[in-house]
Amino acid sequence: MTTIFISRSASGVSLSLPFSDPIWRKPQAASRFQSLLSTGEPADIVVVGGGIMGLSTALHAARLGMSVQVLDAGEIGQGASGLNGGQVIPGLKYDPEWLLEHFGQERGETLVNFAASTADAVFELIRDERLAVPFVRNGWIQAAHTEMALKAAANRDRQWRARGADVSLLSAAEIGSMTGARGYLGGWLDLRAGVIDPLAYTSELARVATAAGVRIAEHHKVTRLGKTAGTWRVSTENGAELQAKAVVLATNAYTDGLVPGLARSIVPLHSFQIATAPLPPDLAATILPEGQAVSDSRRILVYYRKSPDGRLVLGGRGRMALPTGAGDWAHLERALLRLYPALSGITIEKRWFGRVAMTPDHLPHIHEPEPGLVAVAGCQGRGVGLMTALGGRIATYLSNGDARQLPFPLSPIRPIPFHAFRQVGVAATIAWYRLLDALEH
Ligand SMILES: Cc1cc2nc3c(=O)[nH]c(=O)nc-3n(C[C@H](O)[C@H](O)[C@H](O)COP(=O)(O)OP(=O)(O)OC[C@H]3O[C@@H](n4cnc5c(N)ncnc54)[C@H](O)[C@@H]3O)c2cc1C
């Protein structure tokens, strides 16, 4: 039997845009990755997409003795992995009791344990592989601005505390002194979490993966996947043809038409970020003095942290269409001043955005539409930890075929009905949520 998948759209990868100027920079001496297996030599695995998911899978697979080729359409770190806020937060959108109730005892426990482990996966990798990644592991604050959010925080705290997690509730005074921000009634501190430089992390993953034997080729957009007599044939835009026993599709929010239905099974949203100029010392001493990451409890939430060079970096949902100018980040500047009026007048030096993949059930999905073709999609904005941890599990699955150790069951690809109208629907929902958030303010 012969299977052929051809990429129908180039829209999945739109990485270098004039209005996207991220704060994170690769070191001048960062490697370029141009290593391709020779065509006659089949790889155990070809990984399509060199973000955290693809690179973690590749590194773990190489450690398990497999030969791995990673192909990326752009440069390493040009997808969400090198653009994100660098908040390393454990957990899923759902709390432990919800997971147990909806997935049953066995699968639920697996999910809760996996969710609890995802931040550890990042910090252990940094430690064990000696990655040159600036990080602070001093926790993540979920800040509550309503009584209802405070109740949800107390409920979450009770559930994780019962499982021995290093978490605690914060009073209004405590959160005020830890964040320096206005308007919070209290919050929740999860000390398992921290912040990293995401581009350094992604670049370093690529470096250690290469040292472990993985071949990585940038600027190799995969345009066609075919299978003949049990071997996958992978073709790239620039004419390379590779063979592999298995293919992992790690293209997440930048997924295009390579595997039928996959792009329509997720909603790619834009997350926008701004970074101030380095804060003057008097303000730096009052804003996040201990270096935690923060997300607030609004429906359209903002998340923020300080960067290693002392800027305040704040992000949140952005418009669905591509930005056309600095005005498209104005809502984030307003949020910044609502939280920190003392920053009035500070220069916003950087503005950028990237894509996040949402799934209808807010959980990552693992698919295997054909034997030996594994696709992972959906990260809900917590992909730094999730994708790092999931990469290890996918590599193990490919080495021993045991799907039981995957935290999420293999599921069929389910295109979302009326996907073509998603932009209208998402834009309307965002506008409605912003109005509700404003009324609660
Ligand atoms: C602005 C922003 C802020 C975020 N903040 C946080 C945060 O603070 N904490 C957190 O945990 N998560 C955050 N996220 C989410 C997180 O960044 C992602 O979940 C994670 O990086 C996804 O990693 P990935 O490897 O799956 O995908 P990506 O890093 O997006 O990698 C996909 C890769 O696939 C490549 N590709 C696509 N199509 C092809 C093709 N046909 N051929 C070859 N290559 C292809 C792309 O070039 C890209 O490099 C944020 C995301 C964004 C955009």
Strand residue runs (E) in 277-337: 293-296, 302-306, 312-317
Buried b (16+ CB within 10 A) or exposed e, 247-283: bbbbbbbbbbbbbeebbbbbbbbbbbbbbbebbeeeb
Q: What is the pLDDT of residue 417?
A: 64
Query: Pseudo-torsion of CA 236, 378, 139, 316, nearest 10°?
Result: 90
Contacts of 366 (CB under 8 A, 6+ apart): 374, 375, 376, 390, 394, 406, 408, 409, 410, 411
Q: What is the pLDDT of residue 9?
A: 45
**Where does a domain end: 191, 207, 232?**
191
CA angle 76, 78, 81 (to 5 degrees): 85
Do both 157 and 39 map to the same domain? no
Q: How far apart are CA 376 and CA 357, in angstroms?
A: 11
Do both 177 and 236 map to the same domain? no
State the closest ligand 1 atom to the C-alpha of 220, by its place in the atom list counted from 1. 43
Q: How far apart are CA 123 and CA 336, in angstroms?
A: 29
**Sign of the torsion angle spanned by Cα atoms 328, 80, 379, 411:** positive
Pocket test of ligand 1: the residue of 46, 56, 84 to mutate, having most ligand atoms within 8 Å of its CB, is 84
**Where does a domain end: 161, 191, 221?**
191
Do both 13 and 75 map to the same domain? yes
Q: What is the pLDDT of residue 27?
A: 76
Do both 187 and 232 map to the same domain? no
- Collect the ranges in the chain with pLDDT lower than 70: 1-18, 299-300, 417-441
Do both 208 and 181 map to the same domain? no
CATH number of the domain encompassing residue 223: 3.50.50.60
Assigned domain for 282 exists: no
Do both 6 and 60 map to the same domain? yes
Q: What is the pLDDT of residue 14?
A: 41
Q: What is the pLDDT of residue 437?
A: 58
Assigned domain for 290 exists: no
Q: How far apart are CA 47 and CA 57, in angstroms?
A: 8
Do both 23 and 49 map to the same domain? yes
Contacts of 432 (CB under 8 A, 6+ apart): none
How far from chain centre, in Å, is Cα 67?
Answer: 26
State the closest ligand 1 atom to the C-alpha of 7, by its place in the atom list counted from 1. 41
Query: Pseudo-torsion of CA 15, 240, 61, 364, nearest 10°?
Result: 40
pTM over 0.85: yes
Assigned domain for 22 exists: yes
Residue of the CA atom closest to atom 35 of ligand 1: 49
pLDDT tens for residues 247-283? 999 999 999 889 989 998 988 889 999 999 999 999 9
Do both 249 and 367 map to the same domain? yes
Assigned domain for 354 exists: no
Range of the domain at 225: 2-84+199-263+363-421
Residue of the CA atom closest to atom 2 of ligand 1: 84
Distance 84 CA to ligand 1 centre (A): 8
Distance 388 CA to ligand 1 centre (A): 12
Distance 105 CA to ligand 1 centre (A): 31
Q: What is the pLDDT of residue 5?
A: 61
Distance 266 CA to ligand 1 centre (A): 13
- Tokens 């293919």 belong to residue: 247
Residue of the CA atom closest to atom 19 of ligand 1: 383
Residue 90: how many other CB atoms lie within 10 Å: 24
Distance 49 CA to ligand 1 centre (A): 9
Total tally of structural domains belonging to the chain: 2
Q: Which residues, judged by CB distance below 6 Å to any ligand atom, belong to the binding site of ligand 1? A: 7, 12-13, 48-54, 71-74, 78-81, 83-87, 89, 221-222, 250-254, 256, 258, 271, 273, 315, 353-356, 379, 381-385, 387
Q: What is the pLDDT of residue 216?
A: 97
Assigned domain for 406 exists: yes
